[in-house]
Amino acid sequence: MRNQVLASILLCSAMTASAGTASSVYNFRMKTIDGDATTLAPYKGKVLLLVNVASACGYTPQYAALESVYEKYKDKGLVIVGIPANNFANQESGTDAEIKTFCNRKYHVSFPMMSKISVKGADQTPLYDYLTSATTDPKFAGDIKWNFTKFLIARNGQPVARFEPATTPDSPQVIAAIESELGKK
């Protein structure tokens, strides 16, 4: 009987720990644009702006604003993470190496870039399932509508804002949200 109680306590503790790890963006496995396995855990304590990007989209010039915002706020604790996705009109059809070359040559991107993923559909990556699910993120849930959707993530790994593609990274509302989160410790 005592062993059953102990086993139940351990099981409940393990389930609570699992639920806790699934309640932030930090533990989802990804790959960098160079193919290295990673998570967003190295950015714990930072404010994150996660953006699904594409190289051949009408919103692609937002790379310049993303880089500008990153340069302005990176020393204050902001990390922008570009996450290429080819879910919309084949606008990110290149390989990771081609995407990296494009971003570096055309926009001089210095913020972290991840490997290409899927942000919607049957092959949606777990990170984007978390970000768009009404169960895990009811405040900002809903399918990704197009490239350059932006999720602002607080220092604790929780989403605090979502900006649709037409809202540029340097718009007053995005800057205000970034500055507000950076002001919190």
Q: How far apart are CA 100 and CA 113, in angstroms?
A: 8
Residue 116: CA atoms inside 13 Å, Cβ hemisphere, count?
18
Q: Which long-range contacts (CB under 8 A, 24 or more apart) does 157-166 make?
A: 157/23, 157/24, 157/25, 157/26, 157/40, 157/44, 158/23, 158/24, 159/25, 159/131, 165/59, 166/59
Residue 12 falls in the annotated catalytic set: no
- Token pair, residue 72, equals 């302005």
Candidate list 56, 57, 160, 175, residue with the active-site label: 57
Catalytic residue list: 57
